[in-house]
Amino acid sequence: MPNVVTANRLLDGIVVYLAADGSWTEDIGCARLAETEEETKALEAEAARAVAERLVVAVYPMAVALHDGAVDPLSVRERIRAAHRTTLTKDWYDVPL
Amino acid sequence: MYRYDEFDHAFVHERVAQFREQVERRLLGKLTEDEFRPLRLRNGLYLQLHAYMLRIAIPYGVLSPRQLRQLAMIGRRWDRGYGHFTTRQNLQFNWVKLVDVPDILSALAEVEMHCIQTSGNCVRNVTADPFAGAANDEIEDPRPWCEILRQWSTLHPEFSWLPRKFKIAISGAVEDRAAIAFHDIGLKIVRGPDGKNGFRVFVGGGMGRTPYVGQEIRPFLAKEHLLSYIESILRVYNLHGRRDNLNKARIKILVNQLGIDKFREDVEADWEQTRKDAIDLPEDERRRIMSYFAPPDLPPRPIRDEGLDQRRITDPVFANWLKHNVRPHQVPGYVSVVISLKEPGRTPGDASSDQMDFAADLAERYSRNEARVNYTQNLILPHVARSDLVSVYEELKAEGLATGNYDLLGDMICCPGLDYCNLANARSIPIAKEIAKRFEDPARQELIGPLRLNMSGCINACGHHHSGNIGILGVDKKGTELYQISLGGSPKDDAAVGTIIGPGFRAEAVPQAIDTIISTYLANRNDGEDFLATWRRVGAAPFKEALYGAA
Ligand code: HEM
Ligand code: SF4
């Protein structure tokens, strides 16, 4: 499974992902995918620099799945983070409430 | 209510200036996150799932209209137009920006508020009966004592680095409405043998991973010794409480490991030694603080109101609200009104900035400039004339704040859970909403009677699930949210920790499980029994069978 690197922006705490162009994006769809362990390491090193430059805090890599080209963050927690909003109810339950 | 003196103002403003500088240093890179984190936490600023969260202390739940309006303004200007009232009588803003926090703290200081001691291993914001100074079963107003404890504990050098956080609650009435049994120290004002009031002192209660009901350490403590006695409790805890394991660091663990008798012995021994030198509160100072809490001038009024009686007969929804959300007052002709923040479909405990402004308005016009926050996440107008009730109801109704469900099933306590919280294992808000929908019919809630349903998104138990008559705990089972149900908890004078009833349920099955529990209770109850009484009489068996089938 590919990995992306996520964090919270220092200034406002908003969830961000390291993008292909080296910037930090709020859109998980624009996150750079690391396919190998080396690529993940490289992403993490880049993220560590961003921490030192005070762009982001609370950095970590996470596995994602690709469904028809769309990035799926796998866990409920990461789906909520990626959605940037709360209490999205029914969509994520397997069975309608 | 208490007003800051010059010293208080200077102190709080100094803290704001200090934090402003700390934020600047963080942004300039002179502080790393590891260095900055403890500093921001000392000012109530957390980093949550989506953003920073700021926790504002509302000392013993008392708010003036001016303060409420300022909170509304802060929500509008620096957050997303709403805040969340918590089980610790705090208010949390969920979307603040780090760069704005110094300005927010300045705005709070303007109205004599702050975020000090809302986080960290110190004595936290002291909580109290939200009907203090109003309830008809009150022995003595606990608020002056809360304020005394607040001033004493603020930046107390000896108790700023305790093994773990420390929570104190005070009740001054016959009925405990502050869940004192679930606090590190619970104080209940009681009448002593000589007719003077004092404190019944409980210690070692708490929620979290290892819930305990507090135990009595002293049946009666003369009021003038409050500070020295609490210092002795804290000193014994500070010395012997564990610092090697976060999960074993609360005083409840120490008390239960030593046993209450040994713990008491240690405290009393320390107290014997130190009380002579300890500075108990000087009488002048006590009087000064008391004077801020003089009861408002409420000339007695007629107890009957014809318009109200008429309305009660013709409007069952109003009658229902009157029955549940209107509470008896000390002064004839007055009542306290609970503003329910639990309208079905909304997040329990959330209030929009507009609603805060509106509540401030009502407090000004109908409740002698006072509003309160309840630990069950509602607002309260403490001093309302009975003859104003119909008008108050009409105004609340127009704003969707007249749900008559106080202390009924719909009045759920619910923590933010995985929708906001970084520590959460599962969501709690959507579950609360689905349960609220399922039990929306007021007639059904009325039939069920008093019921405390509490929910937390992880074992930290911010949503008090352990003390719910029905408690729901969200856990993570291999990436799936799962909900454990416990029954039989109580936050009141008959405090109890609930018993887990069996294997957890998936989110979509929780409303039906609650329904099954309620039906089982209704089928088993005797006349006049509430849920807890039935549970205590019949035990777990019928509930287990209904939920999981015959063993
Ligand atoms: C969203 C950020 C929050 C964080 C990070 C947080 C963290 C925690 C933690 C770690 C504990 C366990 C303490 C222990 O067992 O030693 C705890 C307990 C507690 N929290 Fe929170 N909490 C949060 C929000 C809330 C909210 C929203 C409420 C009220 C609705 C609340 C009220 C409480 C209460 C009443 C307890 C249990 C009482 C006790 O034993 O201390 N907290 N919290
Ligand atoms: S109980 Fe857990 S999920 Fe809920 S607010 Fe507390 S720490 Fe967060």
- pLDDT tens readout for residues A46-64: 999 999 999 999 999 999 9
Q: Of B17, B117, B103, B104, nearest to B59 (Cα)?
A: B117
- Of chain B residues 346-365, which have a CB less than 8 A from chain A? 347
- Look at residue B551 in the predicted model and tell me its pLDDT: 59
**What whole-number percentage of chain B has pLDDT above 90?**
91
Q: What is the CATH number of the domain that holds B330?
A: 3.90.480.20
Q: What is the pTM of this model?
A: 0.94
Is the Cβ–Cβ distance between B478 and A64 less than 8 Å? no
The residue among B266, B291, B316 that closes a domain is: B291
The residue type found at B24 is E
A86:B419 CB<8 A: yes
CA of B349, closest atom in ligand 1: 30
B98:A13 CB<8 A: yes
Residue whose CB lies within 8 A of the most ligand 2 atoms, among B458, B464, B465, for a mutation test? B458
- Of chain B residues 481-500, which have a CB less than 8 A from chain A? 481
Q: Does B51 touch chain A (CB under 8 A)?
A: yes
B26:A86 CB<8 A: no
Q: How confident is the model at residue A45 (pLDDT cuts 50, 70, 90)?
A: very high
- Look at residue A93 in the predicted model and tell me its pLDDT: 37
**Residues of chain B found within 8 Å of residue A75, distances taken between Cβ atoms:** 479
**Residues of chain A found within 8 Å of residue B434, distances taken between Cβ atoms:** 89, 97
Number of independent structural domains in chain B: 3
Structural element, H or E, at residue B481: strand B480-487
Residue nearest to atom 6 of ligand 2 (CA): B462
Closest CB from B29, B434, B506 relative to A54? B29
My answer on whether B465 and B436 are in the same domain is yes
Closest CB from A8, A76, A87 relative to B481? A76
In a domain, B442, yes or no: yes
CA of B424, closest atom in ligand 2: 3
Q: Is the dihedral of CA B479, B481, B485, B486 positive or negative?
A: positive
In a domain, B513, yes or no: yes
My answer on whether B248 and B331 are in the same domain is no
My answer on whether B330 and B451 are in the same domain is no
Q: Of A44, A48, A49, nearest to A32 (Cα)?
A: A44
- Look at residue A94 in the predicted model and tell me its pLDDT: 33
- The distance in angstroms from the start CA to the end CA of chain B is 57
pLDDT tens readout for residues A80-97: 899 887 655 443 333 332
Q: How confident is the model at residue A76 (pLDDT cuts 50, 70, 90)?
A: confident
The CA angle B288-B290-B291, to the nearest 5 degrees, is 65
Q: Does the CB atom of residue B410 touch ligand 1 within 6 A? A: no
Q: Does B40 touch chain A (CB under 8 A)?
A: no
My answer on whether B427 and B538 are in the same domain is yes
Closest CB from A13, A77, A94 relative to B51? A13
In a domain, B76, yes or no: no
Strand order, beta sheet including A24-25: A24-25, A15-18, A3-9, A56-63
A76:B418 CB<8 A: yes
Closest chain A CA to residue B423: A77
Is the Cβ–Cβ distance between B202 and B180 less than 8 Å? yes
Residue nearest to atom 21 of ligand 1 (CA): B462
My answer on whether B284 and B392 are in the same domain is no
Q: How far is the CA of B344 from the centre of ligand 2 (A)?
A: 22
My answer on whether B244 and B355 are in the same domain is no
Closest chain A CA to residue B437: A97
- Look at residue A96 in the predicted model and tell me its pLDDT: 32
ipTM of the complex: 0.91
A77:B97 CB<8 A: no
**B411-447 in b/e burial notation, b at 16+ Cβ within 10 A?**
bbbbbbbbbbbeebbbbbbbbbbbbbebbeebeebbe
**Which residues lie across from A71 on neighbouring strands?**
A66
CA of B417, closest atom in ligand 2: 3
My answer on whether B237 and B357 are in the same domain is no
Q: Does the CB atom of residue B164 touch ligand 1 within 6 A? A: yes
Quote the minimal CA–CA distance from B517 to chain A in Å: 18
Structural element, H or E, at residue B9: helix B6-28
In a domain, B40, yes or no: no
Rounded to an integer, the average pLDDT of A57-85 is: 91
In a domain, B128, yes or no: no
**C-alpha to C-alpha distance for B529 and B518, rounded to whole angstroms:** 13
Quote the domain boundaries for residue B169.
137-291
Q: Does the CB atom of residue B462 touch ligand 2 within 6 A? A: yes
My answer on whether B367 and B441 are in the same domain is no
My answer on whether B286 and B145 are in the same domain is yes
In a domain, B36, yes or no: no
**Residues of chain B found within 8 Å of residue A93, distances taken between Cβ atoms:** 507-508
My answer on whether B260 and B211 are in the same domain is yes
- Look at residue A83 in the predicted model and tell me its pLDDT: 87
The ranges of chain B with pLDDT < 70 are 278-279, 550-551
Residue B446: strand, helix, or coil: helix
Two structure tokens written together for B534:
């039935």
Is the Cβ–Cβ distance between B378 and B84 less than 8 Å? no
The residue among B340, B372, B398 that closes a domain is: B398
Q: What is the CATH number of the domain that holds B460?
A: 3.30.413.10
**Residues of chain A found within 8 Å of residue B50, distances taken between Cβ atoms:** 13-15, 80-81, 84-86
- Look at residue A84 in the predicted model and tell me its pLDDT: 85
Is the Cβ–Cβ distance between B339 and B384 less than 8 Å? no
My answer on whether B355 and B456 are in the same domain is no
Q: Does the CB atom of residue B424 touch ligand 2 within 6 A? A: yes
Q: What is the mean pLDDT of chain B?
A: 95
My answer on whether B267 and B239 are in the same domain is yes
